[in-house]
Amino acid sequence: MATSSWQTVVGELSSADVSVSPAALALVHSANRVFVAGAGRSGLAIQAFAMRLGQLGKPVTVVGETTAPAFTAADLLIVASGSASTPSIVALVEKATKLGGQGWLLTATADSDLARLVNHTTLLPGKGKFTNRTNTVQPMGSLFEQAVWLFGDAFTLAYMHQYQITESEMQKNHANLE
């Protein structure tokens, strides 16, 4: 049964056609700093993306951390929300927009008020945790959360290629107080 479950998860992820757009690469590259946010498992996945962005050399912070600096018009907020309706995430995007910054939404919901607030949206496979869509046999937001993690890795590879960043350069930015 475990092998079958593994193949199911990998099969659902591989059936999606998701690409990293040049606009997304430019959005991150041009940002002074990158802030990330997500709730629950989506939040964990977006934090993994934040780690890679930091290793790519981008100043990055997780919203809500005690050392998070003030968000400015020169910054980018990347949020992950499968439903695109998580109240705390909507509130963060509204605030970032009022401050004049850029917003990027990673979501499984094609049409939402939140998508209309941001500058860039990337549609990932999956569903919101309480939707009845049948594009996955996995419970709640599992497929979306997995897709956020893997999209972060795909973005990292594309960014490395676009801006000629080597793994050895990234390793210099890897945590060393472990």
Distances (CA, A) of 55 to 12, 68, 117, 134, 166: 29, 17, 28, 36, 11
Tokens of 84: 């695109």
SS3 (DSSP) at 114: helix
Q: Does residue 167 have an active-site annotation?
A: no
Catalytic residue among 145, 167, 169, 178: 145
Q: Which residues of 117-134 are buried (b: 16+ CB within 10 A; e: fewer)?
A: bbebbbbbbbbbbebeee
Tokens of 94: 């509204």
Q: Please, which contacts does 170-178 make with residues 24 or more away whose CB atoms are closer than 8 Å?
A: 170/55, 170/56, 170/57, 171/55, 173/54, 173/55, 173/56, 173/57, 174/55
The one-character DSSP state at 165 is -
Please identify every residue annotated as catalytic: 145
